[in-house]
Amino acid sequence: MSYKKILILKFSLLFILNLNAQIQNKSWKNIIYKSDDAWFASNEAKEIAENVLLYQRDIGGWPKNIQMQDKLAEVDRIALTLLKPNTKDITIDNGATIQEMDFLSKMYKQIPDNRYKEAFLKGLDYILEAQYKNGGWPQFYPLKKGYYTHITYNDNSMINVLNLLKEIKDKTDFYSIKPNDKIILKAQNAFNKGIDCILKTQYKQNGILTSWCAQHDENSLLPAKARAYELPSLSGYESADIVLLLMSIENPSKEIITAVNAAVTWFEKVKITGLREERTYDEKGKVNDKKMIPDENAPAIWARFMELDDNRPFFCDRDGIKKYSIEEIGSERRNGYAWYVTSPEKVLKKYPKWKVKNGITALKQQQNDKYYVVVTQDGSGDYKTIQEAINNSKAFPYERITIFIKNGIYKEKIKIHEWNTNVSLIGESKEKTIITYDDYFNKLSLGRNSTFYTYTVLVEANDIILKNLTIENSSGDVGQAVALSVFSHRIVVVDCRLLGNQDTLYASGIGKQYYKNCYIEGTTDFIFGSATAFFENCEIHSKKDSYITAASTPKDSLFGYVFKDCNLTSNDITSKVYLGRPWRIYAKTVFINCTLGKHILPEGWHNWSKSEAEKTSFYAEYENRGEGSNTKSRVSWSHQLCKKESKKYTQKNVLGNSNWYENI
């Protein structure tokens, strides 16, 4: 055969291989893992083994998604022989290389052909060579440009490698082919480096260990992007097998125990209940639609992709734009990708026995438990009440103290004292972690200032984070009754529900406060006080015809209340609501890019019968939308910002240095 014809055959096969790589076919995998041991002694198995040997490249690895059981013509065999030196597209992705080695091991057990052993050991050499110095593995080796160089947990690629190395370094009988002691030592060192990489890539959210991303940057170890719809995120799928591997390690180190405990806490926190995936199929049995259906009896599921900062599930089309409902993405990606998974359930089922086996009696995320404590009403945590956890926290700590509060209704009157700085109260879920109390003005009867004693939660300390909580004053529509009272500096309230009626949120003091993704409801003046506060992406819900804000901004403050990208809503009986009125005459309140419902009155603002406030207060709007956003009838003393003026109302300008709120 001429050299020219050989080249044509070579490039034809490359085209075929690349075409096959676009198609996921599980039949090869089923042959490896679902065939009886005796089958591997059959003539059919021997024929397939010849193909496996032929597809292996000289470097030791295999390309992915090859249907090894397909018969090869003589021309194909010639082309594959010519491809042996080629290192393109050799990978551990989609089970490649590992599953071929598993097959060869099963073949060798039945037919001790030395070629099977040599090919297996060459594959092992390839795996050892492909490892990064930091312990991770790229998707392709030799390295392929693009996201393929990232450390890849995607589809359990790296975990498959580590499970293989574990069997070898533990000298089990899982593989019939036994490497020599030198190779076993290399496998042990590679495994240890891999585990170290896993521990270093476990993502910290607000200082707390959580889970892993499908890909991590090979240099920074931070979550990284792969395909357009595979954005940096916490993974409900890949993280499960990572934890199962860590749990399989005998005599785990403190670091491994910490990692497992943290991941289990995270799995419990982010599991989704009451939701079931419903599929419809076409006449060929292919999925043509997926819908998520409410079902209170459905088993727990987990999202494949979750936001790094707040665990919110998201979905993507090939345009890479995040959506927060699976119904918002096109049918091709919606039906062609596993957006929800159940694999973490395996972790949760094995975890109790793992704890007993390793003598673990309490769930801790940090080795130094002074900085991480758990509140549970059933006594399984460190404390049964939130206030007890706060009272036992170190005063003015140098490190942040996290108080993780498990789901439950906590009827407590909470006070975060001035000396309890640098504390985070983190709920398991904002809907089910509820802090409630029922004090109100006339109930306390402490004089004209009784309002300020009605709080459910009072924050006096600086540098506090409140997250995933419902904070409620449950006294009803009985007058002044505060749910959350804050008058300190650098306070972050994120993903919380603030429930009440009159005076729900007392945002006061001379400090800076940040509210993000919160639901705040009330009747009269339900956001009031003197603070500089930035509200972002919050729902502000009016329950009665009245006033939303009552700012008492100090005269010299540059900003008061700033609402940006918020949604102002109401119930069906509410139709006459003012954006605000001045509790004190220098009140400042601005709404920017907000959606104003039809309940907002055309005049917008009220002077609280203080004519001087019309000259001294500053009430303004910019590019709002919705039925209540028409500014033609606004009071003459309010302001409509121009584009240049609106630019000063950024987070950084309003709140100052971003290091205390930016990464929450």
Indicate which residues carry an active-site annotation: 503, 525
Tell me, rounded to whole angstroms, the distance of Cα 21 from its chain centroid.
Answer: 30
φ/ψ (deg, to 5) at 198: -60, -45
Q: What is the sign, positive or negative, of the torsion defined by CA atoms of 25, 30, 33, 35?
A: negative
**Spatial contact of 150 and 226, defined as CB atoms under 8 Å apart:** yes
Q: Name every residue whose Cβ is closer than 8 Å to that of residue 567 and which is 6 or more positions away in sequence.
A: 538, 539, 540, 594, 595
Place of tokens 């890539």: 201
Q: CA 597, CA 24: separation in Å to the nearest integer?
A: 49
Q: Name every residue whose Cβ is closer than 8 Å to that of residue 104 and which is 6 or more positions away in sequence.
A: 49, 52, 116, 117, 119, 120, 123, 177
Instruction: Please give the angle made by the CA atoms of 451, 456 and 461, to the nearest 5 degrees.
Output: 95
Q: What is the sign, positive or negative, of the torsion defined by CA atoms of 322, 328, 331, 336?
A: positive
φ/ψ (deg, to 5) at 573: -95, 0
Place of tokens 């103290």: 401
Q: For residue 432, which of 263, 274, 542, 239 has the smallest C-alpha distance?
A: 274
- What contacts 24+ positions apart, CB below 8 Å, involve 9-13? 9/75, 9/78, 9/79, 9/82, 10/79, 10/82, 10/83, 12/79, 13/76, 13/79, 13/80, 13/83
387: tokens are 């206030």
DSSP one-letter string for 571-637 = -TT---BEEE--SSTT-EEEEES-EE-TTB-TT-B--TT-TTHHHH-EEEEES-BSTT---TTS-TT
DSSP one-letter string for 513-542 = EEEES-EEEESSS-EEES-EEEEES-EEEE
Q: Going by DSSP bridges, is the β-strand pair 408-411/340-341 parallel, antiparallel, or unpaired?
A: unpaired
Q: CA 581, CA 589: separation in Å to the nearest integer?
A: 9
658-to-321, 514, 652 alpha-carbon distances in Å:
26, 11, 6
**Spatial contact of 524 and 503, defined as CB atoms under 8 Å apart:** yes
Q: Going by DSSP bridges, is the β-strand pair 315-316/322-323 parallel, antiparallel, or unpaired?
A: antiparallel
CB neighbour class for 321 (10 Å; exposed up to 12, middle 13-18, buried from 19): middle
Amino acid (one-letter) located at 111: I
Q: CA 313, CA 255: separation in Å to the nearest integer?
A: 28
Q: What is the sign, positive or negative, of the torsion defined by CA atoms of 284, 285, 290, 291?
A: positive
Angle of helix 344-357 relative to helix 254-270, nearest 10 degrees, comes to 140
Q: CA 267, CA 349: separation in Å to the nearest integer?
A: 12
DSSP 8-state code for residue 223: B
